[in-house]
Structure 1
Amino acid sequence: MTLRDHNSTDEVVQFANNAEFDSSFPRQEQDYEKLSEYLEFNATYLVSMTIFDRAYQMYQEKMM
């Protein structure tokens, strides 16, 4: 969510923008598998899971 920018065309930023409006998105979840499963079954706004993979990697690097 920290990557949101409504003026950006970056795929990861667009994912963050769309997740902001997904009221069911598990914002407090940190587990990759649980987030991945949610997105695969519920996030029609995510065109490719590789975008989520990049976003999750960025999140992990930031948390170190």
Structure 2
Amino acid sequence: MYKSFYEYLMTQRNPNSYESVAEFANNAFYDQSFPKQETSFDRLSKYLEENASYLPSMTIFDEAWSMYLASMS
């Protein structure tokens, strides 16, 4: 069974890390509106662009998405 992007992202949480994907995961954890079951790049990207002021650059999402896809293979 495939994990949602959020489920994968939560494996990257680390409150003691300043690495960009870890900070993204830490902040997404506190985002009550994050689409937790979503697996679509386009829908996630749109949500983050419109709602995630905690994400300083969409390249961080792109990096996390690549890691997510690699974890699925």
Match of 2:53 in 1: 44
2:25 corresponds to 1:23 = no
Q: 1:56 aligns to what SS in structure 2?
A: helix
Aligned-pair identity in percent equals 56
TM-score normalized by structure 2?
A: 0.86
Q: CA RMSD in A?
A: 0.5
CA distance in 2, matches of 1:47, 1:15: 9
TM-score normalized by structure 1?
A: 0.98
Structure 1 runs of 4+ aligned residues shifted over 6 Å read none
2:70 corresponds to 1:57 = no
CA distance in 2, matches of 1:39, 1:7: 23
CA distance in 2, matches of 1:9, 1:37: 25
Q: 1:60 aligns to what SS in structure 2?
A: helix
- Greater relative contact order (Cα 8 A, min sep 6): structure 1 or 2? 2
CA distance in 1, matches of 2:72, 2:63: 14
Q: How far apart are residue 15 of structure 1 and its match?
A: 0.2
